[in-house]
Every structure is written in structure tokens, then in C-alpha cells.
Structure 1
Amino acid sequence: MSNLDWLLSRLFDYRALLDVLAVTFIIYWLLWVAQGTRALHLIRGIVSLFAFLFLLGWVLELSTLNWILNRIWPALIIAIPVIFQPELRRAFEQLGHTGSWLKNPFSNNPEDTGLDIAVDEVVRAAAQLSRLRFGALIVMERETGLQDYVTKGVEIDANLTRQLLINIFFPNSPLHDAAVIIQNRRIMAASVVLPLTDNISATSNLGTRHRAAIGVTEESDAIAIVVSEETGQMSVAHSGRLIRHLDQDRLRRVLRTLLNLDQPKARRPESSIFPFTSRSSNGSVSPTGENAPADRSQPAGKTRDR
């Protein structure tokens, strides 16, 4: 039998078809497991690194590098379940729910999520919380998934409305003391504990909510809206930076700029995200051309937000 006949026989072999379908399903399932978590970026980094190293070793015939890479593969078989243990556990739990594994992991299209409505609801809620002096921390997910934090909070999975946000952050309510995470137009979880920033020197005069807002934006591309319980001041954190002294109109402008709602076809460069802000000495940024109130001193040991 010639090589061509053997190849054709393999192509039309049902076992080869099952082989292809099995591999496709495994890849699909792995992507579904990583969707909505920071593990997706880690997978991209690992695959990109090993692909580059293997290509480099193969093209330049680097025997030592090839020897090392060939012996790393067995270790990865053990390391992968350890690295992705939270994601694998969540995936196996969701496999027990009927139809959950049939969801399309690529269905989160930003253009179909009604971000305009979501921004309007968040801005109106933040403005009312500011007038009432209710402390709040609202995190809007972007490309980096925050599912790891969602599972650690109180899952809500409800439509995003101004009234619901205000009820969540009503003082002494069971869910008011932590963060709310928004995915698309839904409030996914409340009472979510977020990591605090390690930059103590730049945030020494800030409360816990502001430090948590900066912390989560240092680890992801999320946007965090903070309302101070003490002053009613509204702020926005992004990429580890804090924009303070915002009114309702400026808050809407900042969110629309960060979410590219005014320019949906082109992503604005990072340097133009804050065109109307100036950096202060403590690492935060404030709107220019505005008579922002000066920071008041905070007694030592006091953890209320400012």
C-alpha cells in the first residue's frame, strides 16, 4: 500500500475522526475552564514561552536547550493540576450542572453587553451613595476575569440596577462591608474581599476601600469605583492609579473613556486614558481645572475611608 493510500485510509477512518473530536473537546474544555479567570493569561504566557523556546532550539539546533525542554514536559504534567487547582475544581463542580459545559466560552462580546446602560446605572448609584455618605466599592470586570474573587464572595448573579447597588451598600446590611463585582450588565457577587495594594507609602492616608481598589487594579485590568464613607468623595482606580475628587459628570466621562465607549472601533493608548488628570504627591491623580478639596489629616489607626 502506498503512502497516499495509507493517508486516505487514515483520513476516512472513524477512529481518526474520534481522535480529532476528542482532542478538540479537550482543548475546548480547557479554554472553558480558564475563561473568566486570570489563569487564561497564565496559559497564554506558558504556551508562548515554550513555543518560542522549542522553535529556537529546533531552528538553531541547540542540543542543551532541547534536552532541558524534553525533560520539563513530564514535570509539567504534575505541575499543571497544582497551578490550576482552583480552576479545575470549579470546572468539575460546574460539570455537574445540567448544560453548563455547553456554554460558549467566547460568547462575552463587549458590544452586546450594554455597557452604556451599565455605566449609567453605576454612575447614578455612586452619586446617590455619595450624597448619602454610604461607603461603596464597585469593581467592573474587563478582559481579565475576576471569577476567582466572585467564588469567594456572596454570589448574586442579578441584573445591574441602581436600586440594588444602593441596597447592597446600605449601612449595616449583611453585604455592605466589601466589594461588588460586575460582569457585563450583571452583579455577580457582593461582600467580596479584594487584595490590598502593597504600595503603603503612596496610600498611607487612604482607607481600606481605596487600597483594595488600587490592589485589584494592580492585578487585573478591572475598573474600581470607590465612594468614601467619611467624605462622600467618589474615586476611580485603574492600573494601580487612583483618580480622586470626581463629581457625577466627571465620573461618567472617566468610565466611558476607560471602557472605550466613545471610540468602540479603536483602543485608546494607555497614555491618553487620563487626559484630564494630574498626579499628586501621594501617587493618586486628580482632575485638573477643578477646585478639589484638600486632603484632611487622618488620625493614626483610623481605617475609615476618605
Structure 2
Amino acid sequence: MNSTEIGTQAFQKVLGASDKAHYFLNQFNLKNQPFEILDIILVAILIYWVYLILRETRAMRILYGIIVLVVIMVLGRLLQLQALNFILTYVLAALVVAIPVVFQPELRAALEKLGRTKFVGEFGGMKKDKLQEIVTEILSALDYFSENKRGAIIVLTRQTGLRDVILTGVRLDADISKQLLITIFSPKTPLHDGAVIISGDKIVAANCWLPLTEQEFKYDLGTRHRAASGITTDTDAIVLVVSEETGKISLAIGGNLTTDLKTGQLKDLLTKILQHKIEGVAS
């Protein structure tokens, strides 16, 4: 086969790929098929939702690798590269089986969030004055814990339900107050070791046990901080932690910890987060 024939065949493959791409694009006649617009929007939302779940996990790098393989496979089919297509077909078939295993933690977290999500959070529909009153009571308790180096962990629920966590503790359903929080976390009470769960304007439960994170941090963390990171990785809850060793206050959102905060910094920030005006803070 001479160079002219090789060039002709390559040109025909490119033309064939162009025709296939043109045919594919022609399938989306958006002027006459409004449901196809909705279809594209829904697919885009789904892809973006998956991206938001995976973007801060180790699975994101694996996903990038899969995307590269898919792009190569599409190009191989368009250019009719048979050997490459043969190999990638079996590779992708194996990945279909491997993905649920590799992404198991991320898939579980995503399905839990989807299944437990409410349309309005526990604090979202609350009047501003009432919300500020609750935040003030909580922060006053945190000031006391910080000054006296008393360990504490307080979980504020948002849209994701925490029923499984609540069942591990003691049900209270009490009004939120500084004095009650101080009493709960007193070393002499049987409730002080676990977490307090707050939902809306109630202290729902105390002495609750939270899942510990497996995430690696640059600095050593105690059990309370690891629990705060763990529960906020799997849910949209906000967790406030006071270190028993240093008295420093930390805030956990989305698995990220912001440490050494003052209650003055937290007041406006916490109010805005609970009202859904901002998503959170960087670690």
C-alpha cells in the first residue's frame, strides 16, 4: 500500500467521523422538541451533582481517569480504530463492575443525602430573632467551655436527618439554653462524653455517638474533632467542638475543620449558614 492509498483511507476515516458527529448533532432538533431541552438540563444537573459529591474525595482522580478513557474510546469509534476499541471495550466493561466497589463510600453518602434531604432545613424557616436567640445561647455556653477548658461537641442539624445518631444517645427534646448545655457537659453527669444534637429550637438528644473520620490531617486531633469531621462528611450538619486540652473552639462543615475561632467570629457566620445564605467556610 503506497502513501497515496494510506492518505486516502485516513481522509475517509476523518470524513466518516465528521458524518457521524453531524448525524449525532442533528438528533437534537431543539426547535421542535422542547422535551429534549429538559432532557439535556436534567442530565447536566445530574452530572454537576455527581461532581459536587466527588470533588473533595479521592474518587475524583479516578473519575478523571475514567473520563479520559471514555473520550479515547469515542474517538476510537469515530476513527474506526479497531484494535484500540477492542481493548477499551473490555477495560470499560471491567470498570462497570469495579466502580461500585471503588466508589462505595461516596455512593453510600450520596444516597443517604438524597434519601434524607428535606425541602426546608430545621433552621431555614425560623424567624431571625429566634435564630439569633438560639445562636446566642449556644455561643455563651461555648465561651464558658472555652474559658474552663471543658470538652464539648454540639451538632446542629440542617436538611439531612440524624435519626440513626439520635438513637445512640438519650432523648431530651428540651429547650436550648446555656445552663442546660453546661449541665450536660459537666464531667459529673453521665451525658458529657457524647455529642449533643440540636434540631430547630430543641436539644433533641445528648450522649450521642458519631462516626469517626478516616481522613488524614496535618495535625493531631482528638476524638471529638474526628467525630465532628466524620458526621459532617456524611451529612450537611454543622458541628461545634471545644477542645478539652486547649479550650479552642472549632467549626466543622463538609468534613472540613476550622480551628481556634472566637465566639465573636462565629455569631454572624453561624447565623448566615443556618439561614442558608452561605454554604460554609474553608478549612
TM-score for both structures, normalised by structure 2: 0.54
Which of 136, 152, 155 is residue 120 of structure 1 equivalent to? 136
Would you say 1:215 and 2:230 are equivalent positions?
Answer: yes
Which of 160, 184, 197 is residue 213 of structure 2 equivalent to? 197
- Specify every segment of 5 or more residues in structure 1 that has no aligned partner in the other structure, as ranges: 1-82, 88-104, 261-266, 278-284, 286-306
Deviation at 1:147, TM superposition (A): 1.6
TM-score for both structures, normalised by structure 1: 0.50
Q: SS of the counterpart of 2:159?
A: coil
**Contact kept? 1:150, 1:189, Cα under 8 Å:** yes
Output the amino acid matched with 1:110. G
Q: 1:133 to 1:108 in 2, by over 3 A?
A: closer
> Bigger shift: 248-257 or 141-150?
248-257
Would you say 1:136 and 2:158 are equivalent positions?
Answer: no
Q: SS of the counterpart of 1:167?
A: helix
Deviation at 1:111, TM superposition (A): 2.4
Q: 1:144 to 1:229 in 2, by over 3 A?
A: same
**Contact kept? 2:232, 2:254, Cα under 8 Å:** yes
**Contact kept? 2:156, 2:237, Cα under 8 Å:** yes
Q: SS of the counterpart of 1:125?
A: helix
Deviation at 1:204, TM superposition (A): 5.6
**Contact kept? 1:133, 1:230, Cα under 8 Å:** yes
**Contact kept? 2:149, 2:246, Cα under 8 Å:** yes
Structure 2 equivalent of residue 19 of structure 1: none
Q: SS of the counterpart of 1:170?
A: coil
Q: SS of the counterpart of 1:112?
A: coil
CA RMSD of aligned residues (A): 2.6
Structure 2 equivalent of residue 259 of structure 1: 274
Deviation at 1:191, TM superposition (A): 0.3
Q: Distance in 2 between matches of 1:203 and 1:175?
A: 31
**1:168-194 CA-partner distances (Å, limit 9, x unpaired):** 001131100010000001001000000
Deviation at 1:268, TM superposition (A): 4.0
**1:179-225 CA-partner distances (Å, limit 9, x unpaired):** 000000100100000000111x2166000000000101001100000
Q: Distance in 2 between matches of 1:222 and 1:107?
A: 10
Q: Distance in 1 between matches of 2:238 and 2:263?
A: 16
Q: Structure 1 residue runs of 4+, over 6 Å off?
A: none
Which structure: larger Rg?
2
| Aligned residue pairs, count | 166
Q: Distance in 1 between matches of 2:139 and 2:231?
A: 20
Structure 1 equivalent of residue 187 of structure 2: 171
**1:201-260 CA-partner distances (Å, limit 9, x unpaired):** 216600000000010100110000000011100010001111111112012133123223
Structure 1 equivalent of residue 41 of structure 2: none
- Specify every segment of 5 or more residues in structure 2 that has no aligned partner in the other structure, as ranges: 1-110
Structure 1 equivalent of residue 247 of structure 2: 232
Percent identical among aligned pairs is: 42
Q: 1:219 to 1:130 in 2, by over 3 A?
A: same
Deviation at 1:108, TM superposition (A): 5.6
Q: Distance in 2 between matches of 1:112 and 1:257?
A: 12
**Contact kept? 1:137, 1:225, Cα under 8 Å:** yes
